[in-house]
Amino acid sequence: MRIIASDKKSDVTIVLLRDKKLPKNLSKSEKEALDFYGFKGEGSCLVSESRKFFVGIEKYDYEFPNALSDSLANAICSLKKLKIKSASIEVEREEEIGKICMGILLGAYSYEAFKSKKSEVSLKEIYLTSSSLDKKSLQKGILEAEALAISINYVRDLVNTPPQKATPKYMAESAENRAKEVGFECKIYDSKFLEKQKMEAFLAVARASVHEPYLVHLSYKPKGAKGQKLPKFVFVGKGLTYDSGGLSLKPGDYMTTMKADKSGACAVIGILEAVARLGINAEVHGILGLAENMIGGNAYKPDDVLRARNQKTIEVRNTDAEGRLVLADCLSFASDLEPDFLFDLATLTGACVVALGDYTTGIMGYNKGLKEEFAKVAFQSGELTGILPFNPYLGKLFKSEIADLCNIPSSRYGSAITAGMFLGEFVAESLRDKWLHLDIAGPAYVEKAWGVNPFGASGAGIRACVEFIKSKAK
C-alpha cells in the first residue's frame, strides 16, 4: 500500500472527524445515511452514495499522541475489505502527516506467511491532500514515516516467524541481509568467539540447544561523517529465539508465544534499519544476543555457578531467568564501545507486565533525568512507558551465599526491578548514568489487536528509540 502526495480523484474520501464532530457541510443524503446508521462520530461509517468514509478521532488533542494513528489504523482494516483501489485524506497540519501515515502503514499490516490462502486487498494507494501545506512538505513527511513503518513491519515479521525457522543462525543471517540491503554494517560472531570472550553466562543458556548461539554486532555511521564528533548510541537486544524455560521448564500454556522472546534483538535490527533509512547524523551500534534455551543432557542447571565476561560469578537458581544471563555478557561487551548512551531492550519479566499492563514499556536505570527524558520522547513518538524506580534495598534480594550474584531474587515482589538491577551489575561503572533498561515484555507481543498494532508482534521500542536518537543527533 502506497501513500502519495496527490490531488488525484480517489474512489473514497476519508473524512477525519476531529474531536468526533461531524462536519457542518453535510448533504441531506449524508445526514440521512449517518442518522440511519446511528453514527454520531464514534468509530467509522461509510456513506456509499457520496463515497465518503467518516472516521471519528477518539480524543483529538496532542496530549494523546496516538488518537489520530489509532483511529486510522482501525479504519484501514475496514477499508481493506472494500472493493476500492484508492482513498484520499485531507491533512490540516504538518504534524499530522506522520501520524496519518503510521496509522495507515502499521494498521494495514498482517502476517500471513504460513497461510495457504492470502487476503486479497484491492486498496493500493492513499492520497494525501492539503489546502494549507505544499506537496513537498507532504512528500517529505510521507517518506520519513514510510522509512520507520517499513522497519517496524519488518521487525514484526521477524518476531512473528515461528521458532523452527527463526533459529539464532536465521536471525543472524536476516540481520546481515538487511544490513547489506539498507546500508549498515554487520559482524557475526559464533560460539568460538563467545568462548574467547569468556561469555560463560551466554554460552550456558545455549548449551542444550542444537542451534549454535551468535553474537551480532551491527553498526551505522552516516556518509561523510569522518572527522565529525557524533553522539554514539549502543542498543543491546535480548534474542532468545525460543525459551522453553530450560530445566526449570515452563508450564505448557506459558510456552506459547515464546517465539516473541527475541523481540528485543529484532527491535535493535529495526532501530539500525530506521536510522540508516532516515540518514540520522549519529553513530549507532546494535548488539544482538541470539540463543535458544532448551532442555537436554547438556543443559545448564539450577545450582550451577557461571562466570560472566566481566568476571562476576552468578549462582543459577532458575534456568528460566535466562535472558538476563545472555544480556549480562552482551552488556559487558557493549560497554567496551564506550557509548554516550547504552540501552538494552528485552522481553525480560512477566512482573513488568503485572506492574504496567500489556501495552506499556518499563523504563529502569540509575539516571533519573535520563529516564524522564526518554519517557517524554517515547510518549511523543506514540509509545507508552512507565518508570520503575531502582530501590537499593531490593538489590540485596539477588545476593548469593556462594557467588557474587544470584540470577533470581529471593522474593518475587518487585522482580521486574530486581531483574533490571541485576543487569546493572554488568554495565561498566563509567556508563551507569548513560544506561537504560527497557523491559518490553508487555507491548512486544499481544494476542489481540490494539491501536496501530494487530494481533502478534508490535515492533515495540523502535519508534521511541529512533525518536530519542533524533533528539540527540546534530
- Per-residue pLDDT tens over the stretch 419-473: 999 999 999 999 999 999 999 999 999 999 999 999 999 999 999 999 999 999 9
| pLDDT reported for residue 59 | 67
For residue 326 the three cell numbers come to: 545472555
- Scanning the structure block, which residue is given the C-alpha cell 499481544? 446
> Can you count the helices (H) and strands (E) in the chain?
14, 19
Cβ neighbors of 135 (< 8 A, separation 6 or more) are 5
CA–CA separation, 317 and 408 (whole Å)? 6
Asked whether residue 474 carries a pLDDT value surpassing 90, the answer given is no
Tell me, what DSSP letter sits at residue 264? H
The label of the residue with cell 518475587 reads 412
Least confident of 61-70, 402-411, 427-436: 61-70
Q: Is the pTM of this model over 0.95?
A: yes
pLDDT tier, 147 (very low <50, low <70, confident <90, very high otherwise): very high
What tens digit of pLDDT does each residue of 346-396 get? 999 999 999 999 999 999 999 999 999 999 999 999 999 999 999 999 999
Nearest to 396 by CA among 416, 407, 410: 410
At residue 227, the pLDDT reads 77
Q: What pLDDT sits at residue 19? A: 78
What is d(CA 21, CA 18) in angstroms, rounded to the nearest whole number? 6
Residue 137 carries which side chain, given as an amino acid letter?
Answer: S
SS3 (DSSP) at 319: coil
Question: Dihedral of CA 141/145/147/150: which sign?
Answer: negative
pLDDT at 274: 98
Of the listed ranges 143-147, 228-232, 440-444, the one predicted with least confidence: 228-232
Q: How far is CA 108 from CA 1, 58, 100, 150, in A?
A: 8, 19, 12, 12
Q: Is residue 130 pLDDT above 60, yes or no?
A: yes
Cross-strand bridge partners of residue 3: 126
Whole-number Å distance between alpha carbons of 162 and 428: 35
- Structure confidence at residue 61 as a pLDDT band (50, 70, 90): low
For residue 103, name the pLDDT band (cuts at 50, 70, 90).
very high
Confidence of residue 63 (pLDDT cuts 50, 70, 90): low
Please report the pLDDT score of residue 335 as a whole number.
98
Judged against a pLDDT cut of 80, whether residue 62 lies above it is answered with no
Cβ neighbours, 10 Å, residue 252: 7
So which residues are the catalytic ones?
250, 324
* Percentage of the chain modeled with pLDDT above 70: 99
DSSP codes joined into one string, 347-406: ---HHHHHHH-TT-EEEE-S-HHHHHHHHHHHHHHT--EEE----TTGGGGG--SSSSEE
